[in-house]
Amino acid sequence: MEKLLFLLLLAVVVSARKSREWDYRSDARKVNMRGCANLTNVLDNWKFAIMTQIKDLLLHDHQTVLPDYGRIHTLSEALDDLYKEFNALKERLIELTSKFEGVELFVDELKAARHAARIGERRVQSTHEKLGSDGPRRRVVVRKVKKQVVKPRP
Q: Which residues contact 69 (CB under 8 A, 6 or more apart)?
A: 75, 76, 79
- For residue 52, pLDDT beyond 90: yes
Distance CA 78, CA 67 (A): 17
Q: Averaged over 101-130, what is the pLDDT?
A: 74
Render pLDDT for 76-103 as a digit per residue (tens, 0 to 9).
788 888 999 999 999 999 998 888 888 8
More confident call, 115 vs 72: 115
Q: What is the chain's mean pLDDT, rounded?
A: 76
Distance CA 132, CA 122 (A): 15
* Confidence (pTM): 0.29
- For residue 149, pLDDT beyond 70: no
The number of angstroms, rounded, from the C-alpha of 144 to the middle of its chain's C-alpha atoms is 62
- Between the alpha carbon of residue 143 and those of residues 16, 45, 140, 146, the distances in Å are 101, 96, 10, 10
